[in-house]
């Protein structure tokens, strides 16, 4: 039996309830930046292991993206642990390896631990060979390791798993594929246990939308549907993060340039495929000197009754990781 039309749309009263559960009106400030202010930090992914918090993040130094890890005892004070994916020579991904931890527990207020598959931990990553800021042909690669938090290089699947030049590429993704986020769905709502959300741009659609792909083995991915699941047909919708609150799935993502600046939004779903966009206020928007240009690229968790909304802030501090919360932590 397929879903009814009503079940595909999340009602306004449920959307309002979700907003009040996830909103973070209190800005704590910058919590992590690179010692070298010329280097830009981006795309935090937060997870937990053995009583410690960890963050994967990416660094752009002018050449391209590399992936790093940091750790924390309290979600506020972070210390870098070093690289996980570094520049290499003569590979399809030689100068771009922007990684995002996969299979993090999506339960709201849950353990935020990372699931293994095939006795491995996994990251998806934005990969490319060209030098510069998101230059050239970009696609999705997969990396893995048997240790989650031990510093050192992760192994990479030799070939990309999704490229804009694939014959299966859809109209909204046949130019560039950007950030990806992979979750484990034990209910197999799509018929597959692994789901990837990613933002992409098409050659006839000069804007970024969020699409889906599915997998049974984390290596072979199949695109799902003909159209994006989130789009404004202008500007950017990107960097999806999924959490589950009761029977509702919430997608945090950022918007940019379909209204001024860059800002944090969300959508809700009952089946991980059909999404209802929130029409109210932004979750986070520019308001401080350190995020006056952009406030975007979310990673949101709930811990001990407090919502922590990590985001990429661009302003007077450069490109850094900032935090907004549901309660005022400065009191």
> Which of 224, 222, 232 lies closest to 253 in space, CA to CA?
232
Nearest CA among 173, 154, 171 for reference residue 162: 173
> Which residue shows structure tokens 């999705």?
140
* pLDDT higher than threshold 80 for residue 1: no
Q: What is the pLDDT of residues 195-233, one digit of tens each?
A: 999 999 999 888 999 999 999 999 999 999 999 999 999
Residue 194 forms part of a structural domain: yes
| Assigned domain for 110 exists | yes
What mean pLDDT do residues 161-188 have? Answer: 97
Nearest alpha-carbon partner for 17 in 105, 108, 110, 104? 108
Looking at the domain assignment, is residue 79 inside a domain?
yes
Which two tokens mark 253?
């993502």
Confirm whether 330 is domain-assigned.
Answer: no
Q: What is the pTM of this model?
A: 0.96
pLDDT tens figures, 229-277: 999 999 999 999 999 999 999 999 999 999 999 999 999 999 999 999 9
Q: Kindly report the CATH number assigned to the domain that includes residue 48.
A: 2.115.10.20
Domain hosting residue 254, numbered range: 5-325
User: Does some domain include residue 284?
Assistant: yes
The pair of structure tokens assigned to 302 is: 């709930």
Burial class (CB in 10 A: 0-12, 13-18, 19+), 5: exposed
**Total count of domains within the chain:** 1
Inside any domain, residue 331: no
């Amino acid at each position: 039996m397929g879903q009814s039309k009503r079940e595909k749309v999340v009602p306004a009263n449920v959307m309002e309830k979700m907003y009040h559960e996830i909103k973070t009106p209190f800005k704590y400030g910058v919590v992590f930046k690179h010692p070298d202010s010329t280097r830009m930090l981006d795309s935090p992914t937060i997870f937990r292991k053995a009583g410690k918090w960890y963050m994967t993040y990416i660094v752009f130094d002018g050449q391209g993206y590399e992936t790093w890890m940091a750790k924390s005892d309290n979600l506020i004070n972070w210390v870098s642990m070093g690289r996980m994916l570094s520049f290499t020579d003569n590979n399809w991904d030689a100068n771009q390896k922007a990684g995002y931890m996969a299979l993090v527990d999506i339960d709201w207020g849950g353990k935020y631990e990372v699931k293994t598959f095939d006795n491995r931990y996994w990251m998806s990553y934005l990969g490319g060979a060209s030098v510069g800021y998101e230059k050239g042909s970009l696609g999705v690669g997969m990396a893995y390791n048997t240790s989650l938090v031990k510093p050192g290089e992760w192994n990479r699947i030799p070939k990309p798993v999704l490229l804009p030049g694939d014959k299966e590429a859809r109209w909204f993704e046949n130019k560039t594929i950007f950030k990806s986020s992979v979750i484990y769905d034990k209910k197999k709502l799509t018929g597959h246990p692994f789901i990837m959300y990613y933002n992409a741009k098409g050659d006839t659609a000069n804007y970024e939308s969020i699409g889906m792909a599915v997998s049974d083995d984390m290596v072979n991915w199949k695109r799902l549907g003909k159209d994006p699941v989130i789009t404004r047909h202008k500007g950017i919708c990107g960097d999806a993060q999924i959490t589950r609150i009761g029977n509702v799935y919430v997608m945090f993502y950022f918007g940019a340039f379909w209204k001024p600046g860059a800002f944090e939004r969300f959508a809700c779903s009952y089946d991980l495929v059909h999404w209802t966009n929130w029409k109210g206020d932004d979750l986070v928007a520019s308001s401080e000197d350190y995020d006056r240009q952009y406030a975007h690229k979310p990673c949101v968790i709930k811990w001990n009754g407090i919502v922590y909304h990590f985001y990429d802030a661009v302003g007077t501090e450069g490109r850094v990781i900032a935090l907004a919360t549901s309660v005022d932590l400065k009191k």
